[in-house]
Amino acid sequence: MPRPERRYDTRADEEKIGLCYPCCCICVGFIIVAVTTAVGMVVAAPELNLDFSSFMKTDVPTSMARDSFVAALEKRGNQQGRRLAGTVYHTWDVELIYEFQDDTVDPENSSNALSLGLYNEGIVSRMKNLEDGLRSLPGWSELCDEVDLMFQPYCRRGVSFANFMYPTRDVADGDIVPSSLDLNSGGFEAVPLDVALSLVASDHSQVPKLLFPANAQTSSLVSSPKMLRTYFRFNYACCTTDASSAEQRKLFAEQKKQWTQLISEQVVPYLREHRSIGSADVFFDGSGISTLDISQTLVGDLLLAIASMSFVLVYMVFHTRSFCLGFFGLVIITIAVPFAYVVAVILTGNRTMSLASGLSLFLVVGIGSDVIFVYADFWKHSKETSVSDWKRIKFVFRKAGKASLATTATTAASFFANLASILKSLRDFGFFMGMCVMLVWVLVSFIFLPICFVNERFWENVRGEPKEPEEEDLSGWRAAMREARRKGQESLAKMPELTTEKWIRVVNAGRVPCVLITLLLAIGLGVWAGMVGVTSTDLPSIFPEGHNQGQIARVLAEFEPSSQLIGVNAWAPSSTKTVCEEREPQSSCDLHWCEIMGDAQTDSVNCQCFRNELDQTCGSAARASVTQRFVAMGDPSGFETLDGPVGGFIINSSVGLEFQSSISRDGDLIRATELKPLITQDWYTGETHHFRWTEVVSEPSRVDENASCGWTDICYCGMKPCPEPSSWTEVDFAGLHLSNPLRRLATGNVPTEQQATVDVVFGMDLKMTGSFLGAVEADTLWSFRTSFNHRDPWTQRSMLNFCEAMPETLKVTRKVCWIENFKNRILSKGNRFPVLESDFDSEFEDFARRELISNTQVDNWVWHSDYQMQASLFTFKIDLHTRSSAYVAIDHKKFWDDYLAEYNSKALLAANGAIQTSSLWVQAEAVKELVASTVSTMAVAIAFAFIGMLIVTVDLLLSMFVVLSTLANVCFLAAFMVLVMNWNIGAIEIVALIAFIGYAMTYSLHIAHRYSSYGPSPVPGKKTPKDTQNWAPQIRNMRTHFAIQTIGQAALGSAITTVGCALPLLFCLLTIFVKLGLVVLVVTILSIIMALGPLPASLLWLGPRDPGTAIRRLCRRAPKAEPEETEPEAEAEAGELPPPARSGNGRA
C-alpha cells in the first residue's frame, strides 16, 4: 500500500503557533520547578538516614513496642547528658580488631606462628608500631591533651595487648629485676607471653573482656585467640550541668565537628593504609566512623550517576537526532527527583531519606527516558497527520500522552503498592519513587513537548526552504553521488520496517511453542524458587565482603560491647604494676620476680623445698603458724584438705605438730590462697618464665612447749629455684608435681556476645502506634505509668521477686537488676529493705550518686526527675542466639509473655504493668509477617497493573496478556535471585520483586496499547476472495506488526538506556546499589525480551480481533464508532481486508 499523502489543512496558516507561547511555557515550567525545589530544599532539607537497621522496622506490635522503648531510652536519667561532678562528658572511641589469618603464615615459620597466632611476638610488635603511629597523629595528641587527666590513659595508651607485652621496666642500676612495670607499650623488649597474660589477668576485671573474644575468655588464655581488640576512648568535657540546653548543644556540635575532622582527615586514612600487619588483618570502628564510611562511599557511588547520565545523554541525542532534545530531556528527568522530594515532604512531612532513596537517581533516568522517547517519536510522526501546529500538539498529547501515561501510571502504581507492606522503609521508598515517576511524566508532558516544537521551528528557520538543484548539477559524477545517497537514505529508512517484518514472520512461525515454553518455564521456575527460597530479616551488609565496614560487624560480634564494660565515668586503671620479691609476698603486689642462677639444677620429678624456721618466741601457745608456698603446683583446689601430695607434705614435715582430721576446716585452720604470679628471670640464658603459686596457711597443734612455733616453706616444682638466703634450709620431699591449670566454664550454650537480650520496663506505657508515612515524634511513643509507684515497699518486693524467682524456662544467663544492687546498698548500711516510702527518694539519690550498675551509671537503668523515680529497666541475657530462627524465638517469647502475665496478674496496682521487649522478637515476627505482606503487596501491584491496562485498552484479554507476561517476568526474576544468585528473601529482595513490577510490565503494556490503537478492524469486502474463510489471523498479524513497528524502537531504546543506567551500579561499593542494579539489569532484559517475543507470539495466536468491543457494547457505545482521527498506518480501504504487511515508513 503506497504511503498516504500528507493531509493539508486549508486553515493551516491560521493555526500556526509562534515561538512566544512555547518558550513562555518552557520558562514558566522551569521557573516553577526550580523555585519550588530551591525553597523546599532550604526550608526542609533532607536528612539522610545511614542506619540500615531501620530498613527492617515493621508494623507488627513487637516492632512498634521496640521503637517506643528505644525512643524512651534516650530520656533515661538526665536528659541533657551524662553528669559527673557537675560536668557533662561526651565519649568518643576507636576500636581496632586484629584477626589472625592462617592462610597468610610465613611457610618458614608456619608451625610456630600457627601455634602462637596473634600471640606471635612479631605480630604484637607490628601491633605496637601501628598503635604508636595512631597515637602520634597530631590531631590525636591535641584532642587527648584536652581530656581530663583521670581519663587520659584511655587515649594515651588505651587498652591494648601490646601494653602488656611491651611494658616499660623500672630497673635500678646494677640490677635486672624491675621494681615496677608501666603498661604503656613503651618497652623495647617483649616480656614472655605467659608474663603478659599474667599481667592481663591481674589487671582490671574488665580488661580481659575488652581484649579477648568471649569464647577465648571462657577457656584458657594460653590458647591463642583468633582475634584481639584494642580500645581507645576520649572522655571529652563538654560543659557544666548548669549551662543552658542551647549552650550545651552548641558546644557538643563543636566537639562533634572537631572529632569528625580528626577521624576523616587523620584516623581513618591512617588505618586504611594499615589494613594488615603480617598475618593479621586490621578492622576498625568507633564513634562516627561507620557514618563517615557510609557517607563517603555513598558520595562516590552517586558520582557514578554521571556515567549513567552521560550514556543516556549520548543515546538520547542519537535517538532524537538533536542535542537540544537529548540535553533538556535529561535535565527534566534529573530535576524531577528533588522536585518529587519537596512534593513528598509537603504531603507527608517526612524529611528522612534512606540509603535506598539514593537509587532513585539511577531508576528515574531509565524510566524517564522511556517517556522522552515516546514523546519525541510521536512528535516526528505527527508531521504525517497534519501541518497544523495545534492539531499536531493535540495528536501528540492524545497518542503519546495516553501511551506514556499508561506505562507511567502502572510503574508508579507498582511503587505505590509498597504502601501495603509491613516494612515502613518500603512504604516510604515506594511512595517517594511513585512520586518521582509521576512527576517525570508531568514535567515531560508540559515542558519537553514545547521544547520539541521550539527545536523543530528553530532548525527550520536556520535551514530555510530547500533550493532546487541547478540543471548542470544533474549530470556527471555529482548526479551519481546524489542518487547513491538517496538510495542509501531510503534503505536506511526502510531498515526498521524490514527488520520488523522479518521478526514478525519468525515469531509467527513459532508462536505456539514460544508461548507454551515460556509459560511452562515461568511456572516451573517460579514454583522451584518458592520452594527453595528462604525469608530472612537479617540486616544485609551494605558493604562488600572485603570492606572494613563489611567485616567489622562480624568481628565485633565476637566481643562483649565495650560500652557495657567501661562506664562513662570509669577512671582508667593504673598502668603501674608493683613488683615484689618472692620471699616477701604481699597482697598489694601485682607481680613477684626473682633472678635464678644459670647453674641451678631442675628436678623434673620432685619439688625442691626451702624452709625458714620462725623464732621460738611463741611460748606456750597451743598452735603453731605454718606458711607454705607451692610454685608451679597449678590448681589450688583441694589444698585445704589433708589429702594428696600437698596434704602429705604438710603432715610429714610438721615434726612436733599434729593435725586432727575432724578439725581440718574448723576455724579456718587451713587456708589456701593463690598469690600473684611469680616471674623467674635467668640472666645467663636470657629466659623469663611465669608461674602460678599458692600459699597455704595452717595452724597445727603443738605437742609440747618444745615444739616448733612454725615456719615458712617455698617449694619449686619442675623449675629452677630462686636463690634463698643462707637462713633457709632445703627440705627433702618427693611426690609434689604440677597439675593442669584452671579453666572457666561457659555460661549457656550460646557465646555471651551472641546471646539475645530481653529488656523489661516498669512504670511505662509503650504505645503500639506509628505513622503510615514519615517519622513520628519520639516523645509521643511512650509515657510514664502514673499508677506505678517505686516507693511502695510492696512494689520493691515485687520487683525483687521478679528478678530472683525467674524460672529456668526463660533461659536467663545474665541479669542486670538495679533493685538487687539497691537492696545490697541498703543492707550494707545496716538499714532494712524494702525501704519505707518516706525514705525511698533520699536513699535512691544516695544510691544513684555513689553506685555503679554493671560498670555504668544508675541513670542508664532508671528514669527520674530530681531523683524521684518514674520508671526503671531490667536487662536479661538469654541462652538464645541473636539470629535464632523465627519459630524458635516466637516459641520462647511465649514463656516470657506468660511470666510477665503472671507477674502483672499477681502484682498490686502500684507494681503492675511490666512490659518486655527484645530485638529478637522483632526479627522473628517480621519474618512471620514478611511472606504474607509480600504476597499481598504483589497482589496489589498486579491489580493496579490490570486495572490500568484495562482503562487504557478497554479489553480484558489484552489486560490479561500483560498481567501474565508481568507474572512470568516476576517468576523469572525470583528464580534468578533465589536459584542463580542464592539470595535469601529479605527487604532488598522484596523491593526488587515488588517495586520493579512496573519495569516488568512497561514494555509489554506499550505493545498491547499500540495493538489496541490500530483502530476498528476491517471486515471482508467485495474484493475479498470468496474462499477466504478465516481472516482473523491476518488481522492479528496486521495489529501486531503495527504495534511493534510504531513502538518497538522506542521500547528498545528505553531498555538500552535503562541497561546503561544499571551498568554503573554494578561498580558501586554499596552492596544495596550493586544488588538492585543487577536486578534492574536482569528485569529490563527479561521485560524487553518478553515484550518483543512471547507477548507478540500470544497476540498472533490468541489476540483479540477488535479490542474493547465487548466492553463498549456493555457500556452502550456504538460498536463501530470511528475515532476522531485515525493514524495513517491504521487506515485501510473501506470495506476491504488490508494485506497482512503494511507499507510505508511511519514509526513512533
pLDDT tens by residue, 439-489: 999 998 888 888 888 888 877 665 554 444 444 444 555 555 555 555 544
Predicted confidence (pLDDT) at residue 215 exceeds the cutoff of 70 = no
pLDDT-derived band at 1144 (thresholds 50, 70, 90) equals very low
Rounded to whole angstroms, the Cα distance separating 600 from 65 reads 70
Q: 497 pLDDT band (50/70/90 cuts)?
A: low
Q: How far apart are CA 1134 and CA 999, in angstroms?
A: 39
**pLDDT for the residue 118:** 67
Q: Which residue has the higher pLDDT, 724 or 823?
A: 823
Lowest mean pLDDT among 327-331, 984-988, 1059-1063: 984-988
616: pLDDT confidence band, cut at 50, 70 and 90? confident
Mean pLDDT of 997-1014: 78
pLDDT at 77: 58
Helices (H), 92-179: 110-116, 121-135, 138-145, 153-156, 161-165
Cell of 109: 615459620
Strand extents, DSSP E, 142-267: 168-170, 180-182, 227-240
Average pLDDT over residues 377-389: 77
Q: How far apart are CA 577 and CA 572, in angstroms?
A: 14
* Distances from the Cα of 682 to the Cα of 119, 176, 190, 365, angstroms: 22, 10, 15, 75
Mean pLDDT of the 932-937 span: 73
Phi and psi torsions of 95, nearest 5°: -120, 135
The predicted structure's pLDDT at residue 896: 92
Average pLDDT of the chain to the nearest whole number? 75
The pLDDT-based confidence of 68 (bands split at 50, 70, 90) is confident
Q: Which residue has the higher pLDDT, 145 or 1126?
A: 145
* 1027 compared with 774, residue with greater pLDDT: 774
**pLDDT above 80 (res 183):** yes
Per-residue pLDDT for 14 more than 60? Answer: no
Task: Give the pLDDT band (50/70/90) at residue 520.
Answer: very high
Q: What percent of the chain has pLDDT over 70?
A: 74
Model pTM score: 0.67
Q: Determine the pLDDT at residue 521.
A: 92
What gap in Å lies between CA 139 and CA 582, rounded to an integer? 45
669-673, 1041-1045, 1135-1139: least confidently modelled range: 1135-1139
Q: What is the CA radius of gyration of the chain?
A: 41
Q: What is the 3-state secondary structure (H, E, C) of 791-851?
A: CCHHHHHHHHHHHHCCCHHHCEEEEEEHHHHHHHHHHHCCCCCCCCHHHHHHHHHHHHHHC
Who wins on pLDDT, 365 or 748?
365
Most confident of 250-264, 698-712, 918-932: 250-264
Three-state DSSP at 612 gives strand
pLDDT of residue 1112: 64
Residue spans of alpha helices (H) in 643-689: 644-653
pLDDT on residue 562: 81
Lowest-pLDDT range of 121-135, 407-421, 972-986: 407-421
Cell numbers 518558550 label which residue? 23
Pairing relationship of beta strands 693-698 and 625-631 according to DSSP bridges: antiparallel
* Predicted pLDDT of residue 270: 92
Nearest residue to 964 (alpha-carbon basis) of 976, 974, 953, 956: 956
Residue 465's contacts (CB-CB under 8 Å, 6 or more residues apart) are none
Mean pLDDT computed over 965-974: 87
pLDDT at residue 667 in the model: 40
When pLDDT is cut at 50, 70 and 90, the band that residue 494 belongs to is low
Instruction: Give the pLDDT mean for 988-992.
Output: 71
pLDDT at position 878 over 50: yes
**Which pLDDT does position 1071 carry in this prediction?**
79
Least confident of 17-31, 77-91, 261-275, 992-1006: 77-91
Asked whether residue 644 carries a pLDDT value surpassing 60, the answer given is no
Which range of 399-413, 801-815, 1014-1028 scores highest in mean pLDDT? It is: 801-815
Residue 1114 banded pLDDT, cuts 50, 70, 90: low
Instruction: Output 181 or 1121, whichever has higher pLDDT.
Output: 181
Q: Which residues, listed in sequence order, are joined to residue 627 by a DSSP beta bridge? A: 697, 712
With a cut of 70, say whether residue 746 has pLDDT above it. no
pLDDT score of 16: 64
Q: How far apart are CA 426 and CA 418, in angstroms?
A: 6
pLDDT of 660 > 80? The answer is: no
Q: What is the pLDDT of residue 933?
A: 72
Q: Is the pLDDT of residue 936 over 80?
A: no
Taking a C-beta distance cutoff of 8 angstroms, is the pair 626, 650 a contact?
yes
Cis amide linkage into residue 178, ω under 30° from 0: no
| Cα–Cα distance measured from residue 224 to residue 115, given in angstroms and rounded to the nearest whole number | 7
pLDDT the model gives residue 113 = 42
Residues 648, 670: Cα–Cα separation, whole Å: 14
CB 1047 within 8 A of CB 1007: yes
Helix (H, G, I), strand (E, B) or coil at 435: helix
State the pLDDT at residue 747: 43
pLDDT digits (tens, 9 = 90+) for 278-296: 788 899 988 888 888 878 8
Q: What is the pLDDT of residue 75?
A: 67
Residue 28 pLDDT exceeds 60: yes
Most confident of 269-273, 346-350, 548-552, 1135-1139: 269-273
Give, in order, the Cα–Cα distances in Å from 15 to each of 390, 393, 427, 557, 949: 6, 11, 48, 74, 35
Query: 517: pLDDT confidence band, cut at 50, 70 and 90?
Result: very high
Position with higher pLDDT, 826 vs 541: 826
Grid coordinates representing 1102 are 490468541
Amino acid letter for position 991: V
Q: How far apart are CA 535 and CA 524, in angstroms?
A: 20
Does an H or E element contain 881, and which?
Answer: strand 868-881
The average pLDDT across 498-510 equals 80
Average pLDDT in the 930-939 region? Answer: 73
Higher pLDDT, 580 or 1145: 580
Residue 620 CA, chain-centre distance (Å), reads 76
**Could you give the 3-state DSSP secondary structure of residue 605?**
coil
Assess whether pLDDT exceeds 70 at residue 756: yes
Which of residues 34 and 403 earns the better pLDDT score? 34
The neighbouring-strand residues paired with 869 are 864
Mean pLDDT of 699-720: 81
3-state secondary structure of 275: coil
List the one residue out of 1062, 1099, 1068 whose CA is nearest residue 1083: 1062
> Quick one: pLDDT at residue 663?
41
